[in-house]
A = this chain, B = another copy of it.
Amino acid sequence: MRIKIINPNTTQSFTDALQKLADTVSRPDTEIFAVNPASGPASIESFYDEALSVPGVLEEIIKGDREENIDAYVLACFGDPGLYAARELTDKPVLGIAEAAFHMAVMSGAYFTIVTTAPRVRFMTEHLVNRYGFSEQCKNIRTTPMKVLDLATSPETAIAKVIAECLLAIKEDHAEAIVLGCAGMSQYREYIEQQIGIPVIDGTVAAVKLCEAMVDMKLGTSKVLTFSWPRPEMAPQGRQLNIA
C-alpha cells in the first residue's frame, strides 16, 4: 500500500527525517511518500502558521487522490492542521499525528502526559485533547521554553529538557505513557523511552501503523455527511462510499 505523509511546513530536513522514521516502522509491503508544500511557514508554532499551511496540505491530498494512487494520508504536525478539510477531499483514511498518538497511548497505559515545545501551544493542544475525547486520560500538557527549530539546531539541549519533563510527568502526573507533542521530536523517541522507562509514543509512527490497519480493514473516511465531497463534482465517479 502507498501512504503519503504530509509535513505541513517547508523544512525539507524534517520531511526527510519523517521519511526515514516511517520507513523503519512500516511493513515491507508499504511504500511511504513523505512530502512538504513548496511554500508556506518553515515551522508551525502558532495558529497563524497553521492557517497558512493548510491550503498547501489540502493540495497534497487532492494530488494524492487524483494522480498518485495513495491509500492513506498522515498529517505530520501535532496540531492536526486541516484534518477535517482533508477528510472531505478523499474517501481514504486521513490521520493527524496528535489524534493517532492519543489513541495509541490509551491502549498502553492508564494515563498519559503530552510533552511539547513552547508554552503558547498549550491552548491549541488542549483543544485537540478535548475534541478527541481524551480529557480524562491525558493528565497534563507539559511545555518547555523551546521552539520547534531548536530541535534541529541544538538537539541535545532540547532533548534533555524533554526528558526532564517526562520524568516530572511520571512523578507528578502519574503518567504511564508519554506522547511527544511535536513531529520534530520523532527521531529521538527511542532514546527518550530508554531514558525514562515508560512507553513514549510518536504520532507519526502511530499514524502510519493505524493507516496500515485501516487500509487492511478497507476502512476509509465515511462520506455520508460531515466529510462528504465539498462540491458534488469533486467526487470521483463510483467512489462516493468507502466500501470496497
The answer to whether B219 touches A198, judged by C-beta atoms less than 8 angstroms apart, is no
The answer to whether B219 touches A123, judged by C-beta atoms less than 8 angstroms apart, is no
Residues of chain B within 8 A of A82, CB atoms compared: 47, 51
The answer to whether B48 touches A222, judged by C-beta atoms less than 8 angstroms apart, is no
Partner of A137, one of B54, B133, B137, B214: B133
Interface size range on A against B: 35 or more
Bound complex: CA A203 to CA B133 (Å): 19
Assess whether A64 is interfacial by the CB under 8 Å rule.
no
Give me the interface of A with B, judged by CB distance under 8 Å. Answer: 25, 27, 45-52, 54-55, 58, 82, 84-85, 87-89, 93, 95, 99, 103-104, 106-111, 119-120, 122-124, 126-127, 130-137, 170, 174, 176-177, 193-194, 197-199, 201, 205-206, 209-210, 212-214, 216-217, 219-222, 224-228, 230, 241-243
